[in-house]
Structure 1
Amino acid sequence: MLQACLNGGRTRDFHAAVPFTAAELAHDAAQSVAAGARELHVHPRGADGAESLEPDDVAEAILAIRTSVPGVPVGLSTHWRIPPGGKARQKPIERWSVLPDYVSINLIEEDAAELISLVLGKGMGIEAGLWSVSDAERFIALSTAPRCLRVLIEINEQDAEEGLSAATGIISVLEKADFTLPILLHGDEASVWPMFREAMARGYDSRIGLEDGRLLPSGKMATDNADIVHAAMMMLNPA
């Protein structure tokens, strides 16, 4: 499964094509799905362009995307930094009425266990974001862990070998615990394509898009999200 991560917390200083508004997210969703993406991960924005968890902003983004690509699963971030930030971000999430299919929750964040319980209680799926071996160890100790949708191995290391070592360590913890949830492996910027190749080699799911990086495998600047997805699909299905 290839997931398209359309915007994250990126600004247009990073890339001019980063989608902000609900309409822009819906457009990029359609283009990315047409290019081969099967799921979507987005960060809704407020009127000021900043990331938002407010129910109205979340609903506008989700409804626009679902109108554009009916039936395609849509996931959101719950990152600690998104306003109102920290544990306070649980409050707007509690008030969501239009729900994504899943959210990502990073185990490095101190309220991860609480947030997992909150999200499961609202009937949403969870991508458990693991950045390190310690994150993996914390995750497998949770009674709610088996109820999650998948494990999201997120490699922030920029050196490919260091990234591979981090990923291998996380995978080892999961394997020793006989954990069988699906795994999505992805990198960030310099590690995007090395981790994508590693996901391919291991038969894991992966994701690609402007949240994670702006370059094609050739090193050329991508035109937009669909351009990146297309490049990934060409690697998955070479002519």
Structure 2
Amino acid sequence: MTDATPAILSVAPNGARRTKADHPAIPMTPADLAAAAVSAQAAGASLIHLHVRDADGRHTLDPGIYREATAEVRAAVGDGMIVQITTEAVGLYTPEQQIATVRTVRPEAASVALREIVPDDAGEALARDFYHWATDEGIHLQHILFTPEEVARFADLCARGVIPGDDLTVLYVLGRYTVGQKSDPADLDPFLAAAKDVPAGLIGPWFVCAFGAKEGACVGHAIAHGGHARVGFENNMLLPDGTTAPDNAALVTEAAKAAAAARRTVATGAQARAILGMSRTPVSG
């Protein structure tokens, strides 16, 4: 399958758990994130997925640190990259705290895991208020789905008005619950099958992320089927040959090669915003 839409390459350079003890190129500070953004942008990334750390290097959703990191990245790359913050709980934050971070930071984009923001039926009222507020504010949400079953739950929440809108952006996490978290391109197929049962026009741009040395193959499979990609040290530090990547930009380069093989161009920041339907002018926080 060939898709003429430019492929959006997103870089997730650090995640919540890894440190420089895992790889010296893991960005820990706002300045580190800005440097990683510059090199990833040069390799083809048009979106950076931010995790920030506290003074002790631990995962945090602190709004002040997010604003500092956003400002550093924006100063380094201008409007050429979408800056997306994470709301990942990592077992530390409640839905109320995750939502409060987004409400305080007011980023141009944020990723939200369905199972964290709406953990059960009792959480739907809080989630509804948040999703509708974010839509009204022009904050672009990427809805993270860990299993094909979550695709159906996502569609149900949309049908009942908990999550508003159409052409919504989702991220399929490949191999999260496989042994050793080693993803395979075939892990995408059940997600695509589940998406066929979703009403037309509900799911718009979709991304994948993957774990292990087959990250590049997973990305290639997704891009060839019209998807977009998130790569980086958050989930994987290995090149396709099994060696350790020197930095995040090297993984973005592999994703750009996959786009070229699928005869798709790599999206610029402006193109990425258009594909995602983002109209809000980015600010530095």
What TM-score bracket applies, with the shorter chain setting the length? 0.7 to 0.9
CA distance in 1, matches of 2:208, 2:114: 15
How do residues 70-219 of structure 1 correspond to structure 2 at under 5 angstroms? 70-71=78-79, 72-81=81-90, 83=92, 85-90=93-98, 92-93=100-101, 96-97=104-105, 99-109=106-116, 111=118, 113=124, 114-115=126-127, 117-118=129-130, 120-122=132-134, 123=137, 124-142=139-157, 143=161, 144-147=163-166, 149-155=168-174, 156=176, 157=178, 158-160=181-183, 164-165=186-187, 167-177=188-198, 178=200, 179-219=202-242
Structure 1 counterpart of 2:61, one-letter code: L
Query: CA-to-partner distance for each residue in 1:23-59, whole Å, 9 max, x for gaps?
Result: 0000100110011111111101112111111111110
CA distance in 1, matches of 2:28, 2:127: 25
* Residue of structure 1 equivalent to 2:59: 51
Offset at residue 219 of structure 1 (A):
1.5
* Residue of structure 1 equivalent to 2:283: none
* Residue of structure 2 equivalent to 1:220: 243
* Residue of structure 1 equivalent to 2:260: 237
Q: Does the residue aligned with 1:40 lie in a helix, a strand or coil? A: strand
List runs of 5+ in structure 1 lacking aligned partners: none
Mapped contact 2:61–2:98 kept (Cα < 8 A):
no
Q: Does the residue aligned with 2:116 lie in a helix, a strand or coil? A: coil
CA distance in 2, matches of 1:127, 1:211: 17
| Percent identity between the two aligned chains | 27
Q: 1:34 to 1:168 in 2, by over 3 A?
A: same
CA distance in 2, matches of 1:39, 1:57: 19
TM-score, normalization: structure 1?
0.87
Mapped contact 1:44–1:51 kept (Cα < 8 A):
yes
Structure 2 counterpart of 1:222, one-letter code: A
Mapped contact 1:28–1:225 kept (Cα < 8 A):
yes
Q: 1:168 to 1:145 in 2, by over 3 A?
A: farther
Query: CA-to-partner distance for each residue in 1:103-161, whole Å, 9 max, x for gaps?
Result: 11112226365446425514211111111122111111122153574011111234555
Q: Which 4+ stretches in 1 moved above 4 angstroms? A: none
Structure 1 counterpart of 2:98, one-letter code: Q
Q: 1:225 to 1:11 in 2, by over 3 A?
A: same
Q: Does the residue aligned with 1:150 lie in a helix, a strand or coil? A: strand
Mapped contact 1:103–1:125 kept (Cα < 8 A):
yes
If asked which structure has higher relative contact order (CA below 8 Å, sep 6+), I would say 2
* Residue of structure 1 equivalent to 2:50: 42
List runs of 5+ in structure 2 lacking aligned partners: 1-7, 262-285
Q: C-alpha root-mean-square deviation of aligned residues, in Å?
A: 2.3
Q: 1:95 to 1:236 in 2, by over 3 A?
A: closer
TM-score, normalization: structure 2?
0.74
